[in-house]
Structures are given as C-alpha cells and as structure tokens.
C-alpha cells in the first residue's frame, strides 16, 4: 500500500502543537525536494487544551475532526486532532523539562573584597623567665688609675675615635685620669659564637675576660647604660660617650657624679 503524503499545513500544525520550531532553509538545498509555499499555521485564541479535548471527543464519537473544527470556528483553519502517540510524545517532552515556575534559584551571596592586604598571623616568641636576652655590644677597657678601670661602650665601632676620643680625653684631663694604657687597650665583643645570648652567660663571659686582663679585683666605671646588664655587680653606671655628645647638658650631671667618687 502506497503511503499517502502528509499535507504540509497539517504537518506544520502538528509540529507547532508539539512545541517544535518551524525552520525553513533560506536557499534551495542541493538534492532536496522543492519547498512548498504555504502560510504558517496560526493557532486560534482558544486554549490548545480545549481544542485537543474536542478533537478527542469527536474521534471517540466517530465524527471526523475536520467537521468539528469547522463547526467550532468556521472562520479560522484549526489544526487536526493529534493522534494518541503524538499526545504522549508531547507530554513526555513537557514532563522532562521543568517549567520556569518550578525552577528554584538559590541566591548567591557576594561579599565585598577587602582592600586591606591579608597578613599571616605571627606567633609571639615564648618568654623565658629569668633569662633576659642581651643585645650586641662592644666595649673598651681602659685602666684610669691604680684601683679603677673604665668600660667604654664603643657603639659597635672598631675603636674610640673622632669626637668620642676627644671627649674621653677631656674627661680624663678633668678627672686627672690616665688617658689610656701603655699598651693597646683591650676590647670585648658580645655575643660570642657558641654561647647563649642571655644575661647570666654574658656576665660570666665578661667576668672571665676581665680575669684574663688582671682586672677582676678592680672597681669598674661603666660608660654606657646598655653595658650595665653584663657589667660586674659592683660598678658605677654613667651615660655613654655617644649620649653625652647627643645631649650636652648631661655632661654637668656626669661631672657631679664623678666629683669625689673616684
């Protein structure tokens, strides 16, 4: 039995009822059949569900769908009723795609970017009780008389020179001290590699060095407040030469402390 060709308007009505887009080539395709010129079907203003219901009812009653369509709307050409297979296919397509009302969109919370750079947390050093650390220092040992020695803060300089050397010479002249030893003055530098940089270790190291200089039993005059943490227990602490040059008014305080003390 030869298959009957489907009417083009009806085919388009079926496709439109299924919700499929009607496409048409802009130019003739090679090897394809010629396109049939026809107007696109226009659905009536009535709902598609009522049309389908009327068509199904007419089919079950043995009435031709075209007759029902013409009777219900004589001025508008309605599409023929869809077969049961087409209706099932349309419902399957609609059921697989959720409607826009059924879709739920989760809100996205956008946080403003911080303009401050992120810094990694820095762990604070664990304090060690009774073990204060001693900073780096260098001192110069100068015997000033038969019973006293002077420990002069060099401020991490290699030697006493320049304005500091002239100030020291003026102090020695005012106090009638020995300007410097006959041989080259001795120097002590802290920290010492291999030793812990604590106050107790620094005091022991300086005391041992003074023994090598045969000055462990002599009274000590310290020029420099930062040296007092490592100096012997019995000493007189005075401002450093650098502090006296930076604050000239402290020279008078120095002379009052030295008057009759040594």
* Top mean-pLDDT range of 20-24, 146-150, 241-245: 241-245
Tell me, yes or no, whether 121 lies in a domain.
Answer: no
Calpha distance 220→215 (Å, rounded): 9
Q: 101 lies in a domain? A: no
Is the per-residue pLDDT at 206 higher than 50?
yes
Among 66, 96, 126, where does a domain finish?
Answer: 96
Average pLDDT over residues 93-106: 58
Whole-angstrom distance, CA of residue 46 vs CA of residue 192: 102
Placement of tokens 């190291």 in the chain: 205
* Domain stop point among 96, 120, 145: 96
* DSSP symbol at 122: P
State whether 141 and 254 are in the same domain.
Answer: yes
The tens digit of pLDDT for each residue in 130-152 reads 556 778 889 999 888 888 888 99
* Out of 6-20, 170-184, 219-233, 241-255, least confident range: 170-184
pLDDT interval class at 68 (50, 70, 90): very low
85 lies in the same domain as 177: no
> Domain count of the chain?
2
214/144 same-domain check: yes
79 and 184 in a common domain: no
Residue 82 lies in a domain: yes
One domain, residues 85 and 191: no
Burial 83-97 (b: 16+ CB within 10 A, else e): eeeebeebeeeeeee
Cα four-point dihedral sign 200, 201, 204, 205:
negative
- Asked if residue 156 is part of any domain, the answer here is yes
Residue 122 counted as domain residue:
no
Domain boundary among 47, 81, 96: 96
More confident residue, 165 or 89: 165
C-beta of residue 216 within 8 angstroms of C-beta of residue 231: no
Please tell me the predicted confidence (pLDDT) of residue 75. Answer: 45
> Which pLDDT band holds residue 160 (cuts at 50, 70, 90)?
confident
* 59 within some domain: yes
Mean of pLDDT values over 112-136: 62
Are 219 and 170 found together in one domain?
Answer: yes
CA diameter of the chain: 142
Which region holds residue 19: left if phi is over 0, alpha if psi is between -120 and 50, else beta? Answer: left
The model's pTM: 0.48
In contact, 55 and 80? CB cutoff 8 Å: yes
Query: For 36-40, 189-193, 215-219, which range has the lowest pLDDT when averaged over its residues?
Result: 36-40
For 92, the domain range is 8-21+36-96
Nearest to 218 by CA among 116, 148, 121: 148
Q: Which of 24-33, 50-59, 84-93, 213-222 shows the lowest per-residue confidence on average (mean pLDDT)?
A: 50-59
Same domain, 145 and 53: no
In contact, 144 and 150? CB cutoff 8 Å: yes
CA–CA gap between residue 88 and residue 104 (Å, rounded): 27
Provide the pLDDT for residue 70: 47
Query: Quick one: pLDDT at residue 46?
Result: 46
In a domain, 46, yes or no: yes
Task: Specify if 124 maps to a domain.
Answer: no
């Amino acid at each position: 039995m030869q298959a009957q060709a489907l009417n083009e308007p009806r085919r388009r009505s079926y496709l439109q009822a299924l919700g499929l887009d009607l496409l048409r080539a802009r130019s003739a395709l090679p090897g394809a059949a010629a396109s049939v010129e026809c107007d696109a079907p226009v659905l009536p203003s009535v709902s598609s569900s009522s049309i389908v219901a009327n068509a199904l009812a007419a089919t079950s009653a043995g009435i031709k769908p075209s007759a029902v369509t013409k009777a219900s709307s004589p001025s508008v050409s309605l599409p023929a009723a869809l077969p049961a297979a087409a209706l099932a296919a349309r419902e399957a397509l609609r059921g697989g795609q959720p409607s826009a009302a059924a879709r739920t969109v989760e809100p996205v919370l956008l946080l403003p970017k911080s303009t401050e750079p992120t810094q990694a947390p820095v762990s604070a050093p664990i304090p060690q009780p009774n073990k204060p650390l001693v900073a780096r220092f260098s001192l110069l040992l100068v015997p000033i008389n038969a019973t006293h020695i002077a420990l002069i803060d060099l401020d991490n300089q290699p030697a006493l020179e320049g304005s500091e050397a002239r100030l020291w010479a003026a102090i020695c002249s005012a106090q009638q001290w020995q300007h410097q030893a006959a041989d080259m003055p001795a120097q002590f530098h802290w920290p010492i590699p291999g030793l812990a940089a604590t106050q107790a270790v620094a005091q022991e190291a300086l005391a041992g060095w003074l023994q090598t200089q045969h000055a462990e039993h002599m009274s000590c005059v310290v020029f420099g407040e930062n040296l007092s943490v490592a100096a012997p227990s019995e000493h007189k602490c005075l401002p450093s030469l650098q502090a006296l040059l930076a604050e000239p008014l402290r020279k008078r305080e120095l002379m009052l402390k030295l008057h009759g003390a040594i």
